[in-house]
Structure 1
Amino acid sequence: MADLWIGNVEESTSDDEIRDFLIKYGFPPFDQVMRYHGTGARPALVLTFHDTPPDALRRLQSRIHNMFWKSRTIVAQVMPEHDDS
């Protein structure tokens, strides 16, 4: 299991738009999305990929990191592994 944090995502972006965007750049479909609105200036997402190892996401991360998408420059980072128990 691996998590991908994507920051500065346009708040109105749907889960389907995010899924299509990531698949376009070679990512597998994510299993869960958590949205973090914060102050609203730079909303973020944490996407969970249950069957994808962190190393696989790290190889793909550079494809979207600092990309200009939907009038914003997004940032992407693979989150450190954690134990949910």
Structure 2
Amino acid sequence: MTELLLQTVKDTVSDEDIRGFLSRYGFPPFISIERVAGTGIRPAVLLAFHDLQPETLRLLQARIHRVFWNDHVIEAIIVQRPTE
């Protein structure tokens, strides 16, 4: 499964705010969101998408990587999990 990790997303940012931000850049709705606690400066969210090909995710990721949003520069990192 291919997922997207968004770093520097404060835990106070709602799932709906994240969904709205991503939809403005052409992302389909995510199917799950997992909050990842950081060391204080890099809280993150891990997003999974239904039937989104890795090549498409790479194109979309380039649209938001290093974009200033919600008082922080967002870092978008693609995470490849091994298939079982």
Percent identity over paired residues = 45
Residues 1-85 of structure 1 mapped to structure 2, 5 A cutoff: 1-83=1-83, 85=84
Could you list the runs of 5+ residues in structure 2 that have no partner in the other structure?
none
Give, in whole Å, the separation in 2 of the partners of 1:37 and 1:81.
19
Give, in whole Å, the separation in 2 of the partners of 1:12 and 1:35.
11
1:34 and 1:47 in contact (8 A); partners too: yes
Could you list the runs of 5+ residues in structure 1 that have no partner in the other structure?
none
**What residue identity is the alignment partner of 1:52?**
L
CA deviation after TM superposition for structure 1 residue 78, in Å: 1.3
- Give a deviation string over 1:10-65, Cα, whole Å, max 9, x none: 22100011011001100000000011112222101110012111111101111100
Give, in whole Å, the separation in 2 of the partners of 1:58 and 1:29.
16
Structure with the higher fraction of residues in strand conformation: 2
* CA RMSD of superposed structures (Å): 1.2
1:2 and 1:50 in contact (8 A); partners too: no
TM-score by length of 1: 0.90
